[in-house]
Amino acid sequence: MAHVNAAVPGAREFYPLNEPAIGTHLAGEQPELFKPIEIKGVTFKNRIFVSPMCQYSSSNGHATDWHFVHIGGFATRGAGSICMEATSVVPEGRISPEDAGLWQDSQMAPLQRIVEFCHSQGTKIGIQLCHAGRKATTYAPWIKAKTGHGTSWVAQADENGWPDNVYAPSAIPWSEKYPNPKMMTEQDMQYVEDAFVLAVKRCKKIGFDFIEFHAAHGYLMHEFVSPLSNTRTDQYGGSSLENRLRFPTRVLERIRQEWTDKPLFVRISATDWAEGPEKSEDGTWLQWGIEQSILWVEKMLSLGIVDLVDCSSGGNWFKQKIGPVIDGKIVPGYQVPFAEAMKKAHPSLIVGAVGTIDDPMVAESYLKDGKADVVSLARGFLRDPHWVLRAAKTLGCTVKAANQYERAWH
């Protein structure tokens, strides 16, 4: 019998074939984190997902080799899923001038190269489609840090920004450091909705395994659903929850019409973290919170427009007070109670937990206790791209390492 270093079939270059795929459980008791999960016909080999992370490194919205290496590194190290960063469907919907985009065909090729590489390593990959709304045209974090406190964070026209072309549900800036948005007209909404659909068509051609709809962190869709950022008096806003949900739900419906047979994830912020309750005693909604989040997801489920809800929080209220805090630090897993509440309300829904998840034992306990179905990590993966392999070691099982890296794990 010939012993050949077999290639990944159909890949554009020679890559040794990993069998089974990197990050697949091999031996020892199988922790929940390493049980595959099927979502709308797509099987994820484990439940450790890479959370979307802006890199502020795109060239006019085009992914570069930075993204190839950054994302590729997670694919060669066993993540169950990778979600590419917030990717804007129109140029002025970018958070910073160097953010990712999918508003033109030329942006497809570098993404396709990344997707094909991830697939060659047996890793599922999706993309987070986004519009930053009133939080657009701001500096990358390390540039923001240089400006010092008390100054504007708005990237001006001579800094590749577009401060005069920022719009939102209502003309309310996020803070004095942010741009002054114009109130969106029906025409603006239609234009954004159509841009989402065009981006989805491109995702199909590229071959992404799933799409995540960004409805969190104070960006456009979150701005629509929250009464703090949406004070419109027409059918798209104000105190009526139904009105505030109308536009984001309509966009999701259009996405689903186009993205019929693959998973559609939605990332929500489950609270604005503003002071006071979500609802007043007379039943008026005062801020966005878990109660409305559950109702919105109920609507999504009834329309068949969501396959996984990722429960994040905050980002829409400048004076947000995130908690609980112990010794000046936000407690690990502070957003998990939102995932748990969502799961309790909709037991058959696949729910993701995210936020300060780093200890594999604790992550495992969230799944074991039924608080969530998958966990997403961002900074944990930046600190340690080998998080999946390390988690397996901590949990006392063996998972497949890349052939090329196996000697590090025996």
| List of residues contacting ligand FMN (CB under 6 A) | 51-54, 85-86, 128, 214, 216-217, 267, 312, 354-357, 377-380
The dihedral formed by the CA atoms of 144, 147, 149 and 154, expressed in degrees to the nearest 10: -60
Contact 136, 163 (CB under 8 A): no
Query: Considering the complex, what minimum distance in angstroms separates the CB of residue 155 from ligand FMN?
Result: 17
Query: Considering the complex, what minimum distance in angstroms separates the CB of residue 356 from ligand FMN?
Result: 4
Query: Considering the complex, what minimum distance in angstroms separates the CB of residue 52 from ligand FMN?
Result: 4
Query: Considering the complex, what minimum distance in angstroms separates the CB of residue 208 from ligand FMN?
Result: 15
Query: Considering the complex, what minimum distance in angstroms separates the CB of residue 42 from ligand FMN?
Result: 20
**Nearer to ligand FMN among residue 178 and residue 265 (C-beta):** 265
Query: Considering the complex, what minimum distance in angstroms separates the CB of residue 409 from ligand FMN?
Result: 23
**Nearer to ligand FMN among residue 95 and residue 401 (C-beta):** 95
**Nearer to ligand FMN among residue 49 and residue 285 (C-beta):** 49
Query: Considering the complex, what minimum distance in angstroms separates the CB of residue 153 from ligand FMN?
Result: 16
* Overall size of the chain counted in residues: 410
Contact 93, 131 (CB under 8 A): yes
* Token pair in block for residue 389: 């392999």
Query: Considering the complex, what minimum distance in angstroms separates the CB of residue 242 from ligand FMN?
Result: 26
Per-residue H/E/C for the chain: CCCCCCECCCCCCCCECCCCCCCCEEECCCCHHHCCEEECCEEECCCEEECCCCCCCCECCECCHHHHHHHHHHHCCCCCEEEEEEEECCHHHCCCCCCEECCCHHHHHHHHHHHHHHHHCCCEEEEEEECCHHHCCECCHHHHHHHCCCCCCECCHHHCCCCCCCEECCCCCCCCCCCCCEECCHHHHHHHHHHHHHHHHHHHHHCCCEEEEEECCCCHHHHHHCCCCCCCCCCCCCCCHHHHHHHHHHHHHHHHHHCCCCCEEEEEECCCCCCCCCECCCCCECCCCHHHHHHHHHHHHHHCCCCEEEEECCCCCCCCCCCCEECCEECCCCCHHHHHHHHHHCCCCEEEEECCCCCHHHHHHHHHCCCCCEEEECHHHHHCCCHHHHHHHHCCCEECCCHHHHHHCC
**Nearer to ligand FMN among residue 8 and residue 290 (C-beta):** 290
**Nearer to ligand FMN among residue 53 and residue 189 (C-beta):** 53
**Nearer to ligand FMN among residue 120 and residue 226 (C-beta):** 226
**Nearer to ligand FMN among residue 236 and residue 366 (C-beta):** 366
**Nearer to ligand FMN among residue 23 and residue 355 (C-beta):** 355
**Nearer to ligand FMN among residue 267 and residue 343 (C-beta):** 267
**Nearer to ligand FMN among residue 238 and residue 337 (C-beta):** 337
Query: Considering the complex, what minimum distance in angstroms separates the CB of residue 212 from ligand FMN?
Result: 8
The dihedral formed by the CA atoms of 23, 27, 33 and 34, expressed in degrees to the nearest 10: 50
**Nearer to ligand FMN among residue 216 and residue 399 (C-beta):** 216
Query: Considering the complex, what minimum distance in angstroms separates the CB of residue 80 from ligand FMN?
Result: 15
- CA–CA dist 145, 245 (Å, integer): 35
Chain Cα centroid distance, residue 84: 8
- CA–CA dist 194, 200 (Å, integer): 10
Query: Considering the complex, what minimum distance in angstroms separates the CB of residue 385 from ligand FMN?
Result: 13
